[in-house]
Structure formats: C-alpha cells, structure tokens
Amino acid sequence: MSDKSASVTAWEALFRAQVSVLRQLNTEFPAGELSFNEYDVLFNLSRQSDRALRIRDLNRHLLLTQPSVSRLVDRLVGRSLVRKEPDPGDGRGTVVRLTDAGYDLFRRVAVTHAESIHRRVGGALTNAELHELARLSDKLRLNAPAED
C-alpha cells in the first residue's frame, strides 16, 4: 500500500496533466462540425458492437449531468447523427443508436482529433511510457467502485 502523501502527489500530477492536455486538445479540436461533448457521445457509441447504449449507460461514460446529456442527445437526434429507440428489455428505458451519418462524421473528426492527441501525448512520451500510462490509468479506473 502507498502512503497518503504519495497518493495525493500522484493525483495532483495526474489531474493537472489531464487539465493541461484537455485544454490543448480543446483548442485544436475541429469544432466546426461537432462540439467536444458531441464528439464524446459519438465516440462512446462507436465503441459499442451495435453502436448503441441505453441513455443511462451513456451517462456513465460522459462528464455531463443527466439533463445535459438528454439535451445533447436531442440535438444529435435533430441532426440525424443518432436515433432514440425504446429499450427492448425495459419499456421505460431509451437506447441511443449511432446512425450511419453520425458514424461517418465521427470518423472524419476522429482522424483530426487523433493527430492532435498523438502530437500532444505521443510527442511527450515514448511508446513504452504510453503503454505504462494506459495500464496505470486502466488500473485506477477498474479499482473505482461501480456506479449505480
């Protein structure tokens, strides 16, 4: 087990690095077609085998409040980038599904965004460090208590 001081120091370093990188990525993000938050919704849907998630599960992947996610999804529905469907397993639930147009737009924006990420993150770390960062980040994420 680690000591409290080392834990706090590591957290501060991780948090400040994340803020710094996100600020830079936000300035370079191709926002003409999608906002950063809209991209995040499409990204999370694109990672699912059927490109769909229950809205409550989508909420768990995003750093937005539930009402904000609902409004964001409604805007994406209005642009025909996602569809809302009844949840076949729970009539009260809603599934958000990425449309083909939404997936195509996501892929176009992702190419530019990935280049920015590579310059900012890959430019600062070696491949071995990138793998270690991913391993440690996954370890932290998986150690967090499950959300309801």
Q: Domain with 120 in it: what CATH number?
A: 1.10.10.10
Domain that holds residue 41: 4-143
Is position 45 within any domain?
yes
Domain count, the chain: 1
pLDDT band at 143 (very low <50, low <70, confident <90, very high): confident
Distance CA 99, CA 88 (A): 18
pTM to 2 decimal places = 0.83
pLDDT band at 30 (very low <50, low <70, confident <90, very high): confident
Task: Give me the long-range contacts of 122-129 (CB less than 8 A, separation at least 24).
Answer: none
Write down the pLDDT at residue 148. 47
Q: For residue 147, is pLDDT > 60? A: no
* Cross-sheet strand order for the sheet of 82-87: 52-54, 90-98, 82-87
Distance CA 143, CA 148 (A): 15
Alpha carbon distances (Å) from 101 to 46, 50, 73, 86, 131:
12, 15, 15, 20, 33
Is position 148 within any domain?
no
Max Cα-Cα span within the chain: 51
Is position 65 within any domain?
yes
